[in-house]
Structure 1
Amino acid sequence: MLILHTTIAIVGIVALILRAKVDPVIALIIGSLYLGLATGVGFTGTVTAITGGFGDIMAEVGLLIGFGVLIGSLLHAMGAFQKMVTLLVDGVGGRRLPYALTAAMSTVFPAIYVDVQVVLAAPVVRSAGPMIGRRGLPLMAGALGTGIFAGYVFVVPGLAAVSIAGLMGIPLGTWILYGIVLGPLTAILTTLVFRQILRSGFWRPAVDEPVEKTVAPGEEARSEEDGEGTEPPEKQRSTTPPLVVCLLPILVPLLMIGGGAFAKLFGVTHDAISFLGDANIALFVGLLGAYLLCRRALGSEGTNRALGEGFHTTGEILLITGIGGSLGAVIAETGLDEILAGLFTADAGAPVLVSILLAWVIAAVLHLAIGSVSVAAIAAAGIIGPVLGSIDVSPIAIGLAVASGAMFALQVNSNFFWMFKSLVGLSTQGTLKTLTLVTALGSVISLPLVMVVGLLA
């Protein structure tokens, strides 16, 4: 009965979000309440698990998410990411541009919302496409899609990456060491494979590239991934610093966290190193740097406006992330962790690989059903997190498997799909052939890479 009630709860959450169009926050709470009451956790125990789970995950990632979103908002207001796109266009040749674009999207750009990324980069995709050749537009569109979501799920401070690490208790420094390799590697390999697919006559411009575009770049749009509308960047002053300076609020925290992780790896221990390598301190340093740069470039009014937008988005993200922790806490109280642990450690020739594959499948199915990478990642991490201590597989491998599965085949039940279609200038069929295909390819290509991590970690 426990498995049945858990299945009902999860299917019910998916149905509420997908069919009834209920907000994920409400759907996750309803599912958590049903699961706790139906499995005998009790009225008091269910409430305690929901509130306790919310508080626990907020203690883990609340400040990280808040600081990361605010950094992205301030840098976006200064036009830092727009400068990055311009640099890519000017600095590399047409043949290398898809790889440069997807690498940048999966390493630097995860600091901002996915809808802002596509608004900034869509003009590059459309203008550079014809310069590459007759298959240039789909190739650039595919590079953009895979870069955005490979960064989103694998690379800190991408929302899905930070959420999975927090929900599953994986040190952020450890995640950075693996994610910064896996994210761009997945994006570049996917773009290479997609380029070969396009050479087979797969793309038909007459039906895949409509002449008319329905939404202009920079026009306000909304994405279910982040829940935040996109706006044109703040008007920059001549005092806006160079690009390398603008990106310091991202690069310095990553170096601080990575340095702390390497110090721990080599057995170097000191309170000062632990303090500076702490993810919360590192991201606060980044936020302080972004704030000072923004004040100098845009003044107090522009900075406050950028912070206001960031605070608005932070509240929505924190709420759904916290409730993902609530669902995981209720699952832990039901005793399902022992059953799931049995599934993960079932008799098999390669239990590590089977465990990784199972985690990947759970996240992929949730994404296909819900249509949101972030919600799928949070829900899957909440389901699997409670069993990590019971299985003989490295937590980082399971976490990366969830990330890999959560990006599988973004399609028509996602608002981002339609936003991407309009901004890039594709038909629905063309969007399926680019965005949906490359996120499916990226998910599948990253899976064996994650399995290698599982065997070595």
Structure 2
Amino acid sequence: MGEAAPLVHTATTVAVMVLLILKAKLNPALALVLSAIYLGIVCGLGPEQTLETVHRGFGDLMAKVGLLIVLGVLLGTLLASFGAFERLMAVLLRRLGRRALPYAFAVLIGTFLQFIFTDVLLVVTAPLARALGGRIGRGGPARMAAALALGLEVGVALSVPGVGALALAGLLGVSLGHILLYGLPLASVTIVLTLLLFDVLVKHGFWNPERDESAAVPGEPARPSEESANTARDAAAAPDASAPQDASAPQDAAAPQDASAPQDAAAARDAAPARPLPLLLSPLLLALAMTATGAVAEVAGWRSPVLGFLGDPVVGLLAGLTCACWIARRQLPRGAVSELFGRGYRKTGQILVLRGVGGSLAAVVGAVGLGNLVEDHVSTSTWAPLALVWLIAALLHMAIGSVVTAAITAASVLVPVVPDLDVEPVLVALAAGAGSLFAIHATSNTFWLLQSLLGQTTRGALKTVTVTVSTASVIALGLIQTMSLVL
């Protein structure tokens, strides 16, 4: 096969990995490890060097993003227990009105609320989105469903601290400051433009409530706290802010079954005096402010040991988590914080394993020489490498159904040659994230969760999830190409 051997073997490895996950129902983490070992051996690395590369890839990625993921999940778990998100959305509805609410809702989820693990964020915000969907005018349920899907998926792939963006930054050696500065506005603009287009489609009959909305959602309705229900009702004149959770929805290894706070903690929270909303959100705001300060200082070239320490993302998350613990001990009953931390640790372990083995496969892909083949056949112009990363990620996601795995695998193909290409590494990371958003469909756990929790038929979910997020993927690529002209 000559010099094309790495490409053929890599394509075979990806195909086998997809079959193992979809047909053999093998756990994705195990499938990734087996694929990495197979690729290393068939490409001539030998058993010893292959295993060494697998270990190194796992360890290198965990060293860069492992602690960030742990602290982020723990912070998000505590914030979800405060019941602040329902109040935040009620305030936005009062201040912004019905027309602007889906935009604010989606941008918040896709940026600042990415500290919360995706499945937890989905379960926390889906009842609110469903309740408000019927109160914001024509096509409201469709607009809120699309807003939630966009916020969740675009945020994971393009916005720090989304787990996909963190993994891409670690894999490609891109500073989190650059990902934050470029990814945050990219995610926001992508979400807004996509929702604008979706609104136009809804106005022209794209959404059919009779066929796209289910008359009833199976499962027991989630009962929000009295305080949050009253707040949402006062703001939106909504008689009920409940939505069901379908226990039969497909679950993957990283989707928690118990994403809400413990019932006793929720009851104590409702019985406790209402805390000011800025206080409940202060841990998140503190972490964001410290991280953003460090990112600006890094890009501006400000050199200061104190500023560098305080602006480090780990320090920012640690400060936010400490603040959240202080609030939780006054908001929740004794022992609730320890229980919430236990839940956070369980979620963290699942996330870390999947991200780490993705790094193992990426390391093997780089070691077998695929990057050299890409370097010989891809132009060093800006367009070709970015389009290639996007296309690979899109194809992988259509097959596997995992946004993060597709992004990591696609980015790994160009890791060895990124320094030699006339492309900013941050653009490569963002292009991989954008491509991994294309064609979310029945292989995605998030697709079925959105379909069931928001009361949509499968036909409706294809519109609000597959079509909408795929459109965002294409829009994001266009924006990234525009950014490349000035970087």
TM-score w.r.t. the length of structure 1 is 0.94
Aligned match of 2:48: 44
CA distance, structure 1, for counterparts of residue 120 and residue 468 of structure 2: 19
CA deviation after TM superposition for structure 1 residue 109, in Å: 2.0
Decide which of 131, 136, 151 is 1:147's aligned counterpart: 151
- Which residues in structure 2 correspond to 1:26-425 (within 5 Å)? 26-215=30-219, 216=221, 217=243, 219=245, 221=247, 223-224=251-252, 226-233=254-261, 234-235=265-266, 236=269, 237-239=271-273, 241-345=275-379, 351-425=381-455
CA distance, structure 1, for counterparts of residue 288 and residue 133 of structure 2: 33
CA deviation after TM superposition for structure 1 residue 207, in Å: 1.3
Spell out, residue by residue over 1:261-303, the C-alpha distance to the aligned partner (whole angstroms, 9 max, x if none): 2223333212112111222222212222222222221144111
One-letter identity of the residue aligned with 1:305? E
Q: Which moved more, 1:201-210 or 1:51-60?
A: 201-210
CA distance, structure 1, for counterparts of residue 253 and residue 157 of structure 2: 12
CA distance, structure 2, for counterparts of residue 241 and residue 131 of structure 1: 27
CA distance, structure 2, for counterparts of residue 281 and residue 132 of structure 1: 40
CA distance, structure 2, for counterparts of residue 331 and residue 40 of structure 1: 12
CA deviation after TM superposition for structure 1 residue 176, in Å: 0.7
CA spacing shift, 1:397–1:44, aligned 2, 3 Å: same
Asked if structure 2 preserves the Cα contact closer than 8 Å seen for 1:356 and 1:401, the reply is yes
Asked if structure 2 preserves the Cα contact closer than 8 Å seen for 1:328 and 1:382, the reply is yes
Q: Which moved more, 1:96-105 or 1:393-402?
A: 96-105
Q: Tell me the C-alpha RMSD between the 2 structures.
A: 1.9
2:272 counterpart SS class: coil
CA deviation after TM superposition for structure 1 residue 5, in Å: 1.0
Asked if structure 2 preserves the Cα contact closer than 8 Å seen for 1:104 and 1:147, the reply is yes
CA distance, structure 2, for counterparts of residue 365 and residue 320 of structure 1: 19
CA distance, structure 2, for counterparts of residue 90 and residue 238 of structure 1: 24
CA distance, structure 2, for counterparts of residue 56 and residue 240 of structure 1: 44
CA deviation after TM superposition for structure 1 residue 245, in Å: 2.1
CA distance, structure 1, for counterparts of residue 167 and residue 441 of structure 2: 22
CA distance, structure 2, for counterparts of residue 32 and residue 440 of structure 1: 29
Q: How many residues align?
A: 453
1:201 counterpart SS class: coil
2:409 counterpart SS class: helix
Q: Which moved more, 1:25-34 or 1:365-374?
A: 365-374
CA distance, structure 2, for counterparts of residue 395 and residue 401 of structure 1: 10
CA spacing shift, 1:220–1:133, aligned 2, 3 Å: closer
CA deviation after TM superposition for structure 1 residue 223, in Å: 4.5
Asked if structure 1 preserves the Cα contact closer than 8 Å seen for 2:410 and 2:432, the reply is yes
Asked if structure 2 preserves the Cα contact closer than 8 Å seen for 1:163 and 1:321, the reply is yes
2:135 counterpart SS class: helix
Decide which of 8, 15, 18 is 1:11's aligned counterpart: 15
- Sequence identity percentage: 38
2:45 counterpart SS class: coil
CA spacing shift, 1:337–1:42, aligned 2, 3 Å: same
CA deviation after TM superposition for structure 1 residue 390, in Å: 2.9
CA distance, structure 2, for counterparts of residue 316 and residue 207 of structure 1: 37
CA spacing shift, 1:250–1:125, aligned 2, 3 Å: closer
One-letter identity of the residue aligned with 1:50? V
CA distance, structure 1, for counterparts of residue 330 and residue 463 of structure 2: 44
Spell out, residue by residue over 1:74-132, the C-alpha distance to the aligned partner (whole angstroms, 9 max, x if none): 11112232332333333331122211211222122212122233323333333333333
Spell out, residue by residue over 1:9-42, the C-alpha distance to the aligned partner (whole angstroms, 9 max, x if none): 1111122112222111111111101111001101
Spell out, residue by residue over 1:199-247, the C-alpha distance to the aligned partner (whole angstroms, 9 max, x if none): 2222222211121211333637565384222443341152564222222
CA spacing shift, 1:293–1:340, aligned 2, 3 Å: farther
Q: Which moved more, 1:6-15 or 1:256-265?
A: 256-265
Spell out, residue by residue over 1:181-204, the C-alpha distance to the aligned partner (whole angstroms, 9 max, x if none): 111211111110001111222222
CA deviation after TM superposition for structure 1 residue 72, in Å: 0.5
2:24 counterpart SS class: coil
1:132 counterpart SS class: coil
CA distance, structure 2, for counterparts of residue 132 and residue 404 of structure 1: 29
Asked if structure 2 preserves the Cα contact closer than 8 Å seen for 1:114 and 1:225, the reply is no
Q: Which moved more, 1:150-159 or 1:308-317?
A: 150-159
CA distance, structure 1, for counterparts of residue 118 and residue 414 of structure 2: 25
One-letter identity of the residue aligned with 1:246? L
Asked if structure 2 preserves the Cα contact closer than 8 Å seen for 1:218 and 1:231, the reply is no
CA distance, structure 1, for counterparts of residue 251 and residue 112 of structure 2: 20
Asked if structure 1 preserves the Cα contact closer than 8 Å seen for 2:164 and 2:403, the reply is yes
CA distance, structure 1, for counterparts of residue 433 and residue 442 of structure 2: 20
Q: Which moved more, 1:216-225 or 1:177-186?
A: 216-225
Q: Which moved more, 1:24-33 or 1:5-14?
A: 5-14
CA distance, structure 2, for counterparts of residue 156 and residue 170 of structure 1: 12
CA distance, structure 2, for counterparts of residue 240 and residue 66 of structure 1: 29
Aligned match of 1:444: 474
Unaligned 5+ segments in structure 1 are none
Asked if structure 2 preserves the Cα contact closer than 8 Å seen for 1:32 and 1:327, the reply is yes
Spell out, residue by residue over 1:153-181, the C-alpha distance to the aligned partner (whole angstroms, 9 max, x if none): 12221111111111111111111111211
Asked if structure 1 preserves the Cα contact closer than 8 Å seen for 2:218 and 2:244, the reply is no
One-letter identity of the residue aligned with 1:85? M
Asked if structure 1 preserves the Cα contact closer than 8 Å seen for 2:371 and 2:417, the reply is yes
CA distance, structure 2, for counterparts of residue 352 and residue 111 of structure 1: 32
CA spacing shift, 1:388–1:240, aligned 2, 3 Å: farther
